[in-house]
Amino acid sequence: RKEVEQDPGPFNVPEGATVAFNCTYSNSASQSFFWYRQDCRKEPKLLMSVYSSGNEDGRFTAQLNRASQYISLLIRDSKLSDSATYLCVVNYDYKLSFGAGTTVTVRA
């Protein structure tokens, strides 16, 4: 079983739409959680950390359910520039485990 599993998508949405996707993780002792964004042939860049209480950063909302070991990301009012692969990342003891990524394509 993979440590982090994500819906690979792709999600093809029009500009202005809301898109949501999630991931699950296997290590219940995981300590911190992140969403990273990776553009084609580039390195991952931190989008946001994810907290148990849920958190929002502009158009992005992340949720964490430790009991179900489930993390979600919601993007509101999608922009063309949101097109990317979104990586669900879980930290245990300063080692990160990555999901394979969810591909989002926003069309005009």
Residues that bind another protein (CB under 8 A): 4, 32, 34, 41-46, 49, 87, 91, 94-101
In our burial notation (b when 16+ CB lie closer than 10 A, e otherwise), range 46-64 reads ebbebeeeeeeeeebbbbb
**Residue 47 C-beta-side C-alpha neighbours within 13 Å:** 27
Quote the CA–CA distance of 103 and 83 in Å, as a whole number: 8
Q: Report, in Å, the least distance between residue 85 CB and another protein.
A: 9
In the complex with another protein, the residue whose CB is nearer, 17 or 32, is: 32
DSSP alpha helices (H): ranges in 1-108? Answer: none
The smaller minimum CB distance to another protein, of residues 53 and 67, is found at 53
Beta carbon of residue 99, minimum distance to another protein (angstroms, whole number) = 6
Which of 68, 60, 57, 58 has its CA nearest to residue 23?
68
The smaller minimum CB distance to another protein, of residues 63 and 103, is found at 103
CA 24 to chain centre: 10
Q: Which is nearer to another protein, 49 or 105 (CB)?
A: 49
Q: Quote the least distance from Cβ 100 to another protein, whole Å.
A: 4
Least gap, CB of 73 to another protein (angstroms): 16
